[in-house]
Structure 1
């Protein structure tokens, strides 16, 4: 299976989390790929909900035998993931 590449939006806070997760789930379900790569580069405004979305998507993918990789981490998001101890779970 090929790789699926998706991007996060510029804004991902608690207000947008459910909508963004639903969009990502929909896009993943329409494409076949063993590895789903999420480009976090577009993120400008975010809170810990961004990590929650990524971790939930990872959980769903692992249940289907797929994996998740996050690329182009904004510095603040990477620092937050490291602080929470989840950076390695989302490694590129």
Structure 2
């Protein structure tokens, strides 16, 4: 994981979405780099809410002049992002 990378929790479902979004938004806003890296490798239990959180984090970072790059995609999350057509929105460097 890069020096300033943050990690997603191991569980991110609708139940955890709001708190996870708040926690990550606060932490990512403090990152000094123009591209913020978020590691998804630890994500084990998730639903489409995980994508909603990632997309909202990306939108908030763009509003601050930054971009989000998600690394360590679990295979099932890749498939879900492809199904919804949003993978390209979350892999920008």
Structure 1: state its 5+ residue gaps: none
Q: 8 Å contact 2:29–2:61 — kept in the other structure?
A: no
Q: 8 Å contact 1:4–1:35 — kept in the other structure?
A: no
Q: Which residue of structure 1 lines up, in the alignment, with residue 59 of structure 2?
A: 59
Q: Which runs of 4+ in 1 moved over 2 A?
A: none
Alignment partner of 1:37 is 2:26: no
Shift of 1:11: 0.2
Q: CA RMSD in A?
A: 1.3
TM-score, scaled to structure 1: 0.92
Structure 2: state its 5+ residue gaps: none
Matched residues, number: 90
* Correspondence 1:1-92 to 2 at 5 A: 4-91=4-91
Q: 8 Å contact 1:4–1:28 — kept in the other structure?
A: no
Q: Secondary structure of the residue that 1:41 maps to in structure 2? A: coil
